[in-house]
Chains A and B, each alone.
Chain A
Amino acid sequence: QQPVQSPQAVILREGEDAVINCSSSKALYSVHWYRQKHGEAPVFLMILLKGGEQKGHEKISASFNEKKQQSSLYLTASQLSYSGTYFCGSFSDYKLSFGAGTTVTVRA
C-alpha cells in the first residue's frame, strides 16, 4: 500500500519554508525522498533508515518518526531550483512504493 503525502501542492516565494509530510498505514522501515522536475527523471534527495541514520546529498533535511510511521521533508529558505514534485517512497519486500507526490512551486 502506497504512503500518503500531504499537502498535494504548495506555492512558496523564494526564501520561505515548507514541510511535506509522508505517512504510511504499514510499518515504515526506510523512507526515500525524490524530486522530479517536469519531463525529467526522479532525482534522489534523502534516505532515512530505522535507527535515525540519514543519507542525503542536498541542503534539504528530513525527519523520520518510526513509531508514528511518518516522515517529513523540510524545505528551508527555498530557492527557485526547489520547484518540482516531491515523492516519498517506503521500502518493503525489496521494492519502493511511492506516494502520489507533492508539487512545489517556488516563485521569485
Chain B
Amino acid sequence: DTAVSQTPKYLVTQMGNDKSIKCEQNLGHDTMYWYKQDSKKFLKIMFSYNNKELIINETVPNRFSPKSPDKAHLNLHINSLELGDSAVYFCASSQGSDQETQYFGPGTRLLVL
C-alpha cells in the first residue's frame, strides 16, 4: 500500500564511504525528486527527474549522483561521504501537471561519523 518508499530508513556510515539510497513509487507518477532536510529543518530540493530525464539539478556537489532506471524508481548515490552530508533525505513524486501535489517518502536518516 505504501505510495512512496525509501530504503534504508537509517544509514550510519564512516566519512569517505560510498552509499546509495533507493526510492520507489507505486502511484504511477512521472516525476520524482530528492530533497535534503538538514539539522535546522530546511527542506531543499536536490534533483528532479521526469520520465527518467533529469529536469532539476540544484547546486549539489557532484559526489551526489541520482539515477532513474525507470519512472517508478529514483536512486541517490553518494560518493566520499562527508560529515556535512548528515541529514534526512526525502524522496517525493508527483504527476506531470504543475498543479499536482508532491507525495513524500518516509525519509532516510543519514549519519556520517
Asked if chains A and B come from one complex, the reply is no
Residues of A within 8 A of B (CB): none
